[in-house]
Structure 1
Amino acid sequence: MEEIRKLVHTTRIPVRWGDMDYYGHVNNTVYFRYCEQARVEWIEQLGFGVDPNCGSGPVVINASCTFLLPINYPATVIVKMYAGEPGRSSVMTWYELFVEGEERLYADGASKVVWMDMATNKSVPLPEGLRAFL
């Protein structure tokens, strides 16, 4: 059964020269940074901080990425972020990475985001505002 996915955020990220590796394309680890940037922008736009001193917040407990095509400098990456139905304290998110001006999918990924109490490192219920949005 396919999980319901809702497009929640799209961002544009310029590829930096330093994002590339010895092989002349964006290093695999940087794809996770692109997804992270989209996730942080989305959470902040909803009014939630990504600050370890704020009491509670989102923590990624699992992340994956399938690399379909190499991304090369210069380019601008378009990251489309999707979210699933919320659980008690978590939500699944998915990512599609494109290069601006092209329709081909360069990578796709996923991450499970859990809302955590930063003092106890234990999960807590998702904030009501986030739950209502999802």
Structure 2
Amino acid sequence: MTDKHRFVYDAALRWSDMDAYGHVNNARFLTLYEEARVALFFVAAREARVSFERGIVIARHEIDYLRPVDYGDAVRIEMWVAEIRASSFTVAYELIDDGVVASRARSVCVPFDLAGQRPRRLSADERAFLEPFRPPGDGS
């Protein structure tokens, strides 16, 4: 069952995602997670009249591979905000294949001033956009 605090993204699998064994290559999991982040921070945020286009960089990724993912039409990625700080936030993900969690991951995201080439603080609008994706009792 999908939690109301999660953003859900259906990611299409491509033939190029496969490794020699017919599974999704481990590095491609990060690409699939990136697609979900882009859908949240640049598509859904824009629809909510919030923009992360000033910049975000990834400071850290961690990923657990729980089972292989075979080639198929799509996987579902559920993501939420595990922690919000003044100048960073952590996104948590689950990649679900045929109803089973195949991978869990976390990314530490840092708002970044692209023009000044330095980290920046989250704006009030960005924080307000992220809050609904933070389950009660999590993080900050």
- Taking structure 2 as the reference length, the TM-score comes to 0.80
Instruction: Identify, as 1 or 2, the structure richer in helix.
Output: 2
Could you tell me which runs of 5 or more consecutive residues in structure 1 were left unpaired when the two chains were aligned: 1-5, 51-55
Distance in 2 (alpha carbons) for counterparts of 1:49 and 1:131:
11
| The one of 104, 109, 122 aligned to 2:100 | 104
Structure 1 segments, 4+ long, off by >6 Å, are none
Secondary structure in structure 2 of the residue aligned to 1:69 = coil
Deviation at 1:130, TM superposition (A): 1.5
Return closer, same or farther for 1:11/1:23 CA change in 2, 3 Å cut-off: same
Is it true that 1:25 corresponds to 2:62 in the alignment?
no
TM-score (norm 1): 0.84
Q: Is the 8 A contact 1:70 1:106 kept in 2?
A: yes
- C-alpha contact (below 8 Å) 2:78/2:94 kept by paired residues: yes
Do structure 1's residue 82 and structure 2's residue 95 form an aligned pair? no
The 8 Å contact of residues 7 and 80 in structure 1, kept in 2 or not, is answered as no
Cα drift, residue 79 of structure 1: 0.3
Seq. identity, %: 30
Alpha-carbon distance in structure 1 between the residues aligned to 2:39 and 2:123: 17
Structure 2 residue aligned with 1:57, among 49, 55, 58?
A: 55
The count of aligned residue pairs is 123
Q: Name 2:111's counterpart in structure 1.
A: 115
| Alignment partner of 1:128 is 2:124 | yes
How big is each residue's C-alpha offset from its partner over 1:54-110, in whole Å with a ceiling of 9 and x where there is no partner?
xx21111101111111111123110001103321111000110001xx331100000
Q: CA RMSD in A?
A: 1.8
